[in-house]
Amino acid sequence: MIRITKTTIFLLLLAVQAGLAQSPQDQTFEILKNLDIYTDVIKELNAEYVDQIQPGELTKSSIDAMLLSLDPYTNFIPEAEVEDYKFITTGQYGGIGALIHQRGDYVIISEPYEGSPALKAGLLAGDKILEVNGQPAVGKNYDEVSAILKGQAGTTVQLKVQREGSEQPIEKTITREIIKIDNIPYYGIVGNDIAYIKVTGFTQNAANEVKQAFLKLKEKQPVTGVIIDLRSNGGGLLNEAVDLSNIFTERGQEIVTTKGKVKDRNHVHRTMYPPVDLKIPLVVLADNQSASASEIFAGAMQDLDRGVIIGQRTFGKGLVQNVVPLSYNAQMKITVAKYYIPSGRCIQAIDYSHKNDNGYFTTIPDSLIREFATRKGRKVFDGGGITPDIAVNPRRFSQIAMTLFGNYLIFDYATKFYREHPEILPVNEFRISDSTYADFLRFIEDKNYTYTTRSEQALDKLKREAERENYFGAIAEEYTRLKEQMIRDKEADITKYEDQIRELLRMEIVSRYYHQKGKVESSLDNDPDLARAIEILHAPNTYVAILDGTWVEPGTSGKGTSPDLGEMAPEEGDIEIESETE
């Protein structure tokens, strides 16, 4: 006998409510009818299907398929995945504390976290995991190995790894601990007198971590401005975005309003504490992977004319989720509301209630994008993320640089370098010397790093089209000449883009000695967004003019325009309430 759980009933209830606009009596009948059909399907499959069915797997597949028709943030969380979900909100998990990646049949240590059990046990980046607790790990995928490495703090896990340069495998016994991923991997002084704080998440205590970092930097020396870097920050807890705003805005200030179907649960979120600094000039760095909680903070600072936003248009995620406990320790994350920042705009960019002819969700059409105003009257718009006050073109690495990085050749060379060099200079002094770069070129001589440029792709497409239309004979000679020229140009790329390759080498090598903190610090040297932020903060009149709406960027009309929708990026989303009773 297969038992239909409250989980199934609850989810079917949601589906029926979403699809039907009927009287309560009709709604109840539809619910009971569909539950009865679902029960019969499971019963008949269990009784008649040729092979043994797995009711749990079938039920989860049906739930996932149902939720797929809604927005991507409404998710079913089975008991086995609850701990992974808690990590998203708390930034904590039980484990050894190491980044890992997969290459072929092997799962490899990418980087042990600073101070982690993995680092204390002597694991190094580049170690190949051969066995976990005496069981072969070769051939297992990333998720399988990750699940085994995680566990309750205080328990042990045995690893056998193969290390480059060691003939015999190395065995390690590691005691798991509670691993806390910092919301702030790095903070420091840039431009001689500006506080810079990199924020990568909005898990519990994120705002307080930013506050403490800011205070420490102010104690270290006088600062004339502050930069909050939210690039690639996918969001997290909504209350942390409000509390972060509180650092720079007065108590009682409205930061975000959540509005959903259940009117009694609509809520205005205001700052609750005394501010830290109401006057210091503020810049927020954002990009197209800055989402949800990041957009609440950036959007509030823009709407209140409290800070200048620099970078690229943000993701455009204006939905809020609650987590509801279900039967048998399962949970569900449900989109329950949209959020609205102080100007009254919702920056949600995708309309999940409609799909185009190809079955894809559509973006908010330009005709429905509305104009709003900041506190001082500057034009801002809804329906497409946060458009920066100063747009900076994102930096693009060459294909040769990204191929060397993506094929792990830079990673492997850093492993070799670390083995041969017990220490290096501090991050701000270390550079890739000519002899080191020459050694890297020797290292990759016999390695495969072929790649196809966009120009080659375009040329090949031209050839196919010309052959299809019987024109290729007329251009064959020119095609061959261009092809050969492109090959020669590619061979010169290793020299042409030497600066980019040196930069990636430096970041990877630095991370072996100084971990995530060093990697972030080393990345700031050639950062156009950061450079523009420092420039603006060092020009007080320009900073004030931007916030007053009187500044016109050279080469523009200065008139407000609707946001460029650009490219979307995935993220986790905001959580307003961590849990509630069933």
Q: What is the pTM for the complete model shown?
A: 0.84
Q: How far lies 491's CA from each of 325, 398, 449, 459, 495, in Å?
A: 58, 13, 11, 18, 8
Question: Residue 573 pLDDT > 80, yes or no?
Answer: no
Q: Which 8-state DSSP code applies to residue 237?
A: B
pLDDT of residue 481: 82
Secondary structure (3-state) at 225? strand
Q: Lowest mean pLDDT: which of 91-95, 391-395, 527-531, 543-547?
A: 91-95
Domain 186-394+562-577: give its CATH architecture: Alpha-Beta Complex (3.90)
From-to residues of CATH 3.90.226.10 in the chain: 186-394+562-577
What pLDDT digit, counting tens, does each position of 274-331 carry?
999 999 999 999 999 999 999 999 999 999 999 999 999 999 999 988 888 888 888 9
In angstroms, rounded to a whole number, what is the distance separating the alpha carbons of residues 240 and 297? Answer: 9
pLDDT of residue 354: 75
Distance of CA 429 to the CA centre of its chain: 30
Do residues 76 and 67 touch, judged by C-beta distance below 8 A? yes
Across the strands, what pairs with 173? 158
Cβ count near 376 (within 10 Å): 12
From-to residues of CATH 2.30.42.10 in the chain: 92-180
Residue written as token pair 């220490």? 423
Token pair recorded at residue 575: 């959580």
Do residues 323 and 243 touch, judged by C-beta distance below 8 A? no
Mean pLDDT of all residues in 132-145: 92
Question: Residue 352 pLDDT > 70, yes or no?
Answer: yes
Q: Strands 225-229 and 194-198, how do they pair?
A: parallel
Closest alpha carbon to 548 in 414, 429, 375: 375
In angstroms, rounded to a whole number, what is the distance separating the alpha carbons of residues 95 and 179? Answer: 6
Q: What DSSP string describes 430-496? A: ----HHHHHHHHHHTTTS------HHHHHHHHHHHHHHHTT-HHHHHHHHHHHHHHHHHHHHTHHHH
Do residues 223 and 189 touch, judged by C-beta distance below 8 A? yes
N residues, the chain: 582
Do residues 227 and 267 touch, judged by C-beta distance below 8 A? no
Q: Strands 156-162 and 361-363, how do they pair?
A: unpaired
pLDDT of residue 559: 43
pLDDT of residue 231: 97
Higher confidence at residue 485 or residue 544? 544
In angstroms, rounded to a whole number, what is the distance separating the alpha carbons of residues 525 and 341? Answer: 33
Question: Residue 84 pLDDT > 90, yes or no?
Answer: no
Secondary structure element (H or E) that encloses residue 283, with its range? strand 282-286
Instruction: Name the region of 328 (left: φ>0; alpha: ψ -120 to 50; beta: rest).
Output: left
CB-based contacts of 270: which residues, under 8 Å, 6+ apart? 242, 252, 253, 254, 255
Mean pLDDT of all residues in 511-527: 95
Closest alpha carbon to 77 in 153, 19, 11, 18: 11
Question: Residue 4 pLDDT > 80, yes or no?
Answer: no
pLDDT of residue 569: 38
With a pLDDT cut of 90, the percent of the chain lying above it is 57
In angstroms, rounded to a whole number, what is the distance separating the alpha carbons of residues 378 and 371? Answer: 10
Do residues 74 and 560 touch, judged by C-beta distance below 8 A? no
Average pLDDT, the chain: 87
Secondary structure (3-state) at 415? helix
Does the domain at residues 92-180 carry the CATH identifier 2.30.42.10? yes
Closest alpha carbon to 285 in 519, 560, 531: 531
